[in-house]
Structure 1
């Protein structure tokens, strides 16, 4: 693998059920995603987008194949690490359609919760959280509750939370689905800025065609395999 490779998948297979109830979802998928890239993952509903994302995120176990995250092989026909939670904590940030902020914690507390659970000191966790909030231009909301924020602001907080452990990879599942056009574009521009400036690889599952021009490549699940479409500069809005 090259030093710039963030994700490498080789001959990945995912089936559900067995015998007459066997359902093949992903078959022999192979691809590589580089650090600093934003890749849109698209396919019809039920085609396996979230399944693929959760396998890369070490949440759902594949049937067979290989997954590399950075220089670490995390799966080769079985999990290579005893504790996949360690991989998720160290390497991956997750963003979802719903922000899933804890309603009885303020913005700062939501962001520092995971780092502190990973034994980062409260002072260091708060310092990092404030740096992220300033980077995302929402530092003035640090002590607000999520109920006091707009949908777009809450999603920025969710992005800050995903970045709190300095992940190499961000996996986003429909992060703009609940937002209007202007806020959707704002979020994807922010993700692209993060990818470029922090050398993070981002895969975003989406049905939102408005954000596709801001991605570097489009990854499609087609006939249970993976095909790519490059984004041309002239496509950018």
Structure 2
């Protein structure tokens, strides 16, 4: 069903430079990703995984093509809005290899920073943040500083931060790269649970083939084009 589509991309192209220095990174990428799906995105090193993720996330401008976020077309050979930052704040959550928590803020303040920037009042922001911390089993860590948490706990906080504004899409760029095998599996299972329970579309870049069985579908970048495993 059309209204079940979270991300739609048509003929997306990205190149850098021009003339003799032109480098094509992504060529004619076309795909749809549904709500509730966990997609594993793989490619060789330098194959364009992060570039594709950043184009979907309205961070990197494509060279050409079309992008829909839900039912809203946001790019058609140019950005169709001047509010790409607003789209990112309200509709997209990002998770990275490093947690990038603000070291001088405690955990609850790290989580409430973005909602308050979106004009959510402090009480409502704190309620949502605590719901997420309890959901991830770290509800007793709200006053702790990032330096007092383990790597796995900080990554849980980073995932909670990506969810705090109720995004419809989460883009995760190698979120398990800094974790050991067991913590990596725990994080990917967590992402799968989030996708299913909250109907969020999640695209996860990974270099670790052991994480792929937990994904609903695997998307590859081969010869600059995107294909799904059958």
The equivalent residue for 2:43 is 43
2:29 alignment partner, SS class: strand
Deviation at 1:122, TM superposition (A): 0.5
The equivalent residue for 1:89 is 89
Corresponding pairs, count: 230
The equivalent residue for 2:149 is 149
The equivalent residue for 1:52 is 52
- Alignment partner of 1:201 is 2:201: yes
- Residue ranges of structure 2 left out of the alignment (5+ in a row): none
The equivalent residue for 1:227 is 227
The equivalent residue for 1:191 is 191
The equivalent residue for 1:66 is 66
1:190 alignment partner, SS class: helix
Distance in 1, matches of 2:116 and 2:8, equals 30
- For 1:4-19, what aligned pairs fall within 5 Å after superposition? 4-19=4-19
Cα deviation, 1:78-101, whole Å, max 9, x if unaligned, reads: 001111001101110000000000
Deviation at 1:211, TM superposition (A): 1.1
| Moved beyond 2 Å, runs of 4+ | none
Cα deviation, 1:105-164, whole Å, max 9, x if unaligned, reads: 011000000001111100000000000111111111111111111111000000000001
The equivalent residue for 1:235 is none
2:52 alignment partner, SS class: helix
The equivalent residue for 1:118 is 118
- For 1:152-171, what aligned pairs fall within 5 Å after superposition? 152-171=152-171
The equivalent residue for 2:34 is 34
Distance in 1, matches of 2:83 and 2:116, equals 19
Distance in 1, matches of 2:130 and 2:82, equals 33
Deviation at 1:209, TM superposition (A): 1.6
Query: Given the two structures, how large is their TM-score scaled by the length of structure 2?
Result: 0.99
Please give the root-mean-square deviation of Cα atoms over the aligned residues, in Å: 0.7
Deviation at 1:225, TM superposition (A): 0.3
Distance in 1, matches of 2:133 and 2:74, equals 31
Cα deviation, 1:175-226, whole Å, max 9, x if unaligned, reads: 0000000000000000000000000000000001221110001100001001
Deviation at 1:168, TM superposition (A): 0.2
